[in-house]
């Protein structure tokens, strides 16, 4: 089975505030690639203290990182028309959907 596993971290409780995405590409039951990107969220520089306690990512860590729209051309080939899985799928897929909507990305 081929799939992409993904995981988002958010800066705030709002689902359109991703500050990191990690992906793992699995082909023929083997991990062939693992990547992660820091993302400057729309909420920058505001990060919720609870979220920071969960993932440890702070505003200073993303200061010079691209926002989601800038990163999308690099992410799209990994995600488009792929089987996506996630440990906490209801959260991660809602972050993806909400962020795409917020940025006006189809």
Nearest to 8 by CA among 19, 53, 59: 19
Q: Is the pTM of this model over 0.75?
A: yes
Enumerate residues 6+ apart whose C-beta is below 8 A from 66. Answer: 37, 39, 40
- Compute the distance between CA of residue 85 and CA of residue 88 in angstroms, rounded to an integer: 9
Tokens (6 digits) for 93: 């897929």
- The pLDDT tens digits for 33-83 are 999 999 999 999 999 999 999 999 999 999 999 999 999 999 999 999 999
- The pLDDT tens digits for 5-35 are 999 999 999 999 999 999 999 999 999 999 9
Sheet holding 18-27, edge to edge: 30-38, 18-27, 3-10, 84-85
Query: Which residues, listed in sequence order, are joined to residue 85 by a DSSP beta bridge?
Result: 5
């Amino acid at each position: 089975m081929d799939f992409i596993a993904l995981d988002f971290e958010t800066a705030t409780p709002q689902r359109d505030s991703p500050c990191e995405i990690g992906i793992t590409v699995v082909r023929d039951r083997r991990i062939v690639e693992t990547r992660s990107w820091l993302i400057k969220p729309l909420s920058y520089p505001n990060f919720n203290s609870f979220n920071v306690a969960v993932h440890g990512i702070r505003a200073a860590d993303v200061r010079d990182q691209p926002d989601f729209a800038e990163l999308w051309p690099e992410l799209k080939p990994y995600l488009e028309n792929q089987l996506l899985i996630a440990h906490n799928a209801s959260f991660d897929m809602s972050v993806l959907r909400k962020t795409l909507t917020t940025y006006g990305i189809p």
